[in-house]
Amino acid sequence: MRIAFLMAPEGVEQIELTEPWQAVTDQGHEPVLMSTEPGQIQAFHHLDKADVFPVQVVAREARADTFDGLVLPGGVANPDLLRTDEDAVSFVRDFFDLGRPVAAICHAPWTLVEADVVSGRTLTSWPSLRTDIRNAGGTWVDEEVSVCGHGPNTLVTSRGPDDLKAFCAAFLTEFAKARKDSR
Checking if the pLDDT of 76 tops 90, the result is yes
| pLDDT top residue among 13 and 153 | 13
> Given a cut of 70, is residue 127 above it in pLDDT?
yes
pLDDT beyond 80 at 1: yes
Is residue 5 very low, low, confident or very high in pLDDT (cuts 50, 70, 90)?
A: very high
- Where b means 16+ CB within 10 Å and e means fewer, 43-71 reads bbeeeeebeebebebebeebebeebbbbb
Distance CA 64, CA 86 (A): 15
Amino acid at 179: R
pLDDT greater than 70 at residue 143: yes
What average pLDDT score do residues 7-26 get?
98
Residue-wise pLDDT for 24-66, tens only, equals 999 999 999 999 999 999 999 989 999 999 999 999 999 999 9
The answer to whether residue 135 scores a pLDDT higher than 70 is yes
**Averaged pLDDT for residues 140-146:** 98
DSSP of 29-54, one letter per residue?
A: -EEEEEESSSSEEEEEETTEEEEEEE
2-182, CATH topology level: Rossmann fold (3.40.50)
Mean pLDDT of 77-81: 96
Whether residue 116 has pLDDT greater than 80:
yes
What count of other Cβ atoms lies within 10 Å of the Cβ of residue 92? 27
Average pLDDT of span 148-155: 83
Per-residue confidence (pLDDT) for residue 183, from 0 to 100 = 64
pTM equals 0.97
107 noted as active-site residue: yes
Write down the catalytic residue from 29, 45, 46, 107: 107
